[in-house]
Amino acid sequence: MDHVHLLQDIDKLHKEAKQDQERTLKSEEATREVLEIVNKTLKIIIELLNENIGFSSIFDEILEEF
């Protein structure tokens, strides 16, 4: 292989790595968004349980974790 082909291969690998990094960042962002929704949902469930069952001290401790 000559230098031109090596440089082309390096450029191709660099572009692929950049695309992989962008996909990873998008995936991480989507995961964070899902976790935020899960946390909000759990808070609502715990608050509803607090109101309906009256185990407020137990659930208050759990809410503090969020």
**Residue pLDDT, tens place only, 11-56:** 999 999 999 999 999 999 999 999 999 999 988 888 887 777 766 6
Q: How many helices (H) and strands (E) in the chain?
A: 2, 0
Predicted local confidence at residue 56, as pLDDT = 60
Q: CB neighbours (10 Å) of residue 59?
A: 19
Predicted local confidence at residue 15, as pLDDT = 96
User: Which residues span the domain enclosing 19?
Assistant: 3-65
- Structural domains of the chain, count: 1
Read off the tokens for 33.
Answer: 């968004």
